[in-house]
Amino acid sequence: MSLFGLSLGRLIEALCCLPGVGPKSAQRMAFYLLESNREGGQRLAQALLEALDKMTHCQTCRILSETDLCSLCADSRRDHGQLCVVEMPSDVQAIEQATNYAGRYFVLMGHLSPLDGVGPEALGMDLLAKRLDTDQIREVILATNLTVEGEATAYYISELAQTRGITTTRIAHGVPLGGELEFIDSNTLSHAFQSRQHL
Amino acid sequence: MSLFGLSLGRLIEALCCLPGVGPKSAQRMAFYLLESNREGGQRLAQALLEALDKMTHCQTCRILSETDLCSLCADSRRDHGQLCVVEMPSDVQAIEQATNYAGRYFVLMGHLSPLDGVGPEALGMDLLAKRLDTDQIREVILATNLTVEGEATAYYISELAQTRGITTTRIAHGVPLGGELEFIDSNTLSHAFQSRQHL
Ligand SMILES: [Zn+2]
Ligand SMILES: [Zn+2]
C-alpha cells in the first residue's frame, strides 16, 4: 500500500480488525472515507474515541454502560426476583425489544470455553453467585445461546442456582439449534422466551 | 440505543457511514470494538485521524498521496509519453498490480454524471487538458470503468485528446460490461490492458 503512502496502509490494516471486514472491503472503506466522506471519517474517529473512553461495564450486571450502575439495574420498577442470564449485551437488547420481560439481567460476556481458556472466573460467576446469595431471586432465566457452549454454560449456572434452591428456567427450543440470539427474529425470540421450561 | 448509553449510539451511527455497513453490522462492530478489541479500536481511531490529516491529492495526477507530488509522478523512470486515465485511485493500484504499465496516470476521482451534477470541472478536465497540451503525450489510455458513465467519460476525454492529435486507446472489452475495475481478477484486467484498441 506504499503506493499511496503509509498512513493509508495503516488505516486499511486497522479497518481489517472489524468483524466481517477483509483487506478488500477495508480498502474500499478507506478510499470512501478519504475520497467521499471525510466528515464521516472525522465523526467516526471521534465517536470511537469517545465510546472507548466512556463505555465501561455495569458493576452489578456487567452490561456495557457509561455509568457504574446501568440504566436497567438503576430502574427500581424492575423485578429483583427474576434474573435473566445472557452471553452478550446485544442479547439484552434483543430481549428488551422482543419481550415484555421486566426483571433483571446478568451478562456473562461470553460462554464457558475451556479450550480457549474461558472458565467461570472470566464470566463473572463469582459475582453471579453473590447475587444469587443476596438478591432474593425467585427465578433464574437461562438465555445463553442454544449452542454447545451456551448449553454447557446454562447447565453450569443451573447448578449454581439449584444448590441454592432457586427455580431455574431455560428459554424454549424455538430458536434454531446453533443459532445466535441477536440474529433471531423478534417473534421467534418472544415465543421462545414465553415458553421457557423448568430445568 | 440509549439502553447502553449515548456514546455507544453515536458510535453505531458513525459506523453506518461505512460502505456496506447497515445498523445491524454497525452494532456488531461497535460491541466487538468495546468488548473484545479496545486496542484495535484505539488503533483504528488514530489511523483514521492520521490518514485524514496526512492524505491529500497529488497536484499532477490527483491520486491520493501524502505529498504534493505522488510517488508515481515523482518516478523519473516512468514514461511521460503515455497517460492512463482512470476513475479512482484504487484503479491505479489494480493496474499497477496486474500489468507492467510504466507510463503516467491521471485520476478523475469519478466519472461524468450530469444527473448528479458531476461535470468536467469536478473531474479536473482542465488540469488534464493542460497536461495534454504540455506533457508531450503520445498516447492516452482510457481505463475508465466499462459502465455507461465510464464510457461517456472516456468518449469525452478521447475528444480532448484527438483534437490535439494524440493517439487514444481504450482498454479492451474483456472486462465484463457493467464491471468495476477494482473487482476484476488480475488476469482478465491484464489481458484487457494488453489488447487495448485505438479509438
Ligand atoms: Zn447493570
Ligand atoms: Zn501523481
Q: Give tens-digit pLDDT for B106-124.
A: 999 999 998 888 999 999 9
Residue B178, in any domain of the structure: no
Residue B183, in any domain of the structure: no
Give the length of chain B: 199
How many angstroms separate the CA of residue A117 from the nearest CA in chain B? Answer: 15
Tell me which of A7-21, A73-87, A180-194 is least confident.
A180-194
For the segment A103-114, the average pLDDT, to the nearest whole number, is: 93
pLDDT tens for B60-82 read 999 989 999 999 999 999 999 99
CA-based nearest residue to B199, from B144, B149, B135, B130? B144
Residue B129, in any domain of the structure: yes
Residue A57, in any domain of the structure: no
pTM of the model: 0.73
Residue A83, in any domain of the structure: yes
Q: Quickly state the pLDDT bin for B1 (edges 50, 70, 90).
A: very low
Beta-sheet pairing, A167-170 with A139-142: parallel
pLDDT above 90 coverage of chain B, percent: 64
Residue B106 phi, psi (nearest 5): -140, 130
Residue B199 has pLDDT above 80, yes or no: no
Q: Quickly state the pLDDT bin for B175 (edges 50, 70, 90).
A: low
Residue A145, in any domain of the structure: yes
Which residue did the predictor score with more confidence, A97 or B25? B25
Residue B184 has pLDDT above 80, yes or no: no
* ipTM tops the 0.90 cut: no
For residue A198, count other CB atoms closer than 10 A to its CB. 8
What is the tally of structural domains in chain B? 1
Cβ contact, residue pair A47, B11, below 8 Å: yes
Which string of DSSP letters, residue by residue, matches chain A?
-TTT-HHHHHHHHHHTTSTT--HHHHHHHHHHHHHT-HHHHHHHHHHHHHHHHH-EE-TTT--EESSSS-HHHH-TTS-TTEEEEESSHHHHHHHHHH----SEEEE-SS--BGGGTB-TTTTTHHHHHHHHHHS--SEEEE---SSHHHHHHHHHHHHHHHTTT-EEEE--TTSPTT--GGGS-HHHHHHHHHT-EE-
CA B174 to each of CA B186, B191, B196: distance values in angstroms, whole numbers, following the listed order: 12, 7, 10
Residue B53 has pLDDT above 90, yes or no: yes
pLDDT at position A116: 87
CB B174 within 8 A of CB B186: no
pLDDT above 70 coverage of chain A, percent: 93
Residue B177 has pLDDT above 70, yes or no: no
Residue B10, in any domain of the structure: no
Q: How far apart are CA B94 and CA B147, in angstroms?
A: 17
pLDDT at position A180: 75
Tell me the CA–centroid distance for residue B20 and ligand 2, in Å.
29
DSSP state of B147: S
Residue B189 has pLDDT above 70, yes or no: yes
Tell me the CA–centroid distance for residue B74 and ligand 2, in Å.
7
For the segment A63-69, the average pLDDT, to the nearest whole number, is: 91
Cβ contact, residue pair A67, B5, below 8 Å: yes
Residue A153, in any domain of the structure: yes
Cβ contact, residue pair A4, B89, below 8 Å: yes
Question: pLDDT averaged over chain B?
Answer: 89
For the segment A45-52, the average pLDDT, to the nearest whole number, is: 96
Residue A1 has pLDDT above 60, yes or no: no
Axis-axis angle for helices B23-35, B6-15 (nearest 10) = 120
Cβ contact, residue pair B17, A96, below 8 Å: no
Q: Which helix (H) or strand (E) holds B98?
A: helix B89-98
Residues with Cβ within 8 Å of A46's Cβ and at least 6 positions away in sequence, in order, are B14, B45
Question: pLDDT averaged over chain A?
Answer: 89
Residue A105 has pLDDT above 90, yes or no: yes
Which long-range contacts link A111-119 to residues 24+ away (Cβ below 8 Å)? A111/A87, A111/A144, A111/A145, A111/A147, A111/A149, A111/A150, A111/A152, A111/A153, A112/A149, A112/A152, A112/A153, A112/A156, A113/A149
Enclosing domain of residue B112: 79-170
CATH of the domain at A107: 3.40.1360.10
For the segment A68-83, the average pLDDT, to the nearest whole number, is: 93
B-chain CB neighbours of A2 within 8 Å are 71
Cell of A70: 446501568
pLDDT tens for A116-163 read 889 999 999 999 999 999 999 999 999 998 788 998 999 999 999 999
Tell me the CA–centroid distance for residue B69 and ligand 2, in Å.
5
Tell me which of A93-97, B8-12, B189-193 is least confident.
B189-193
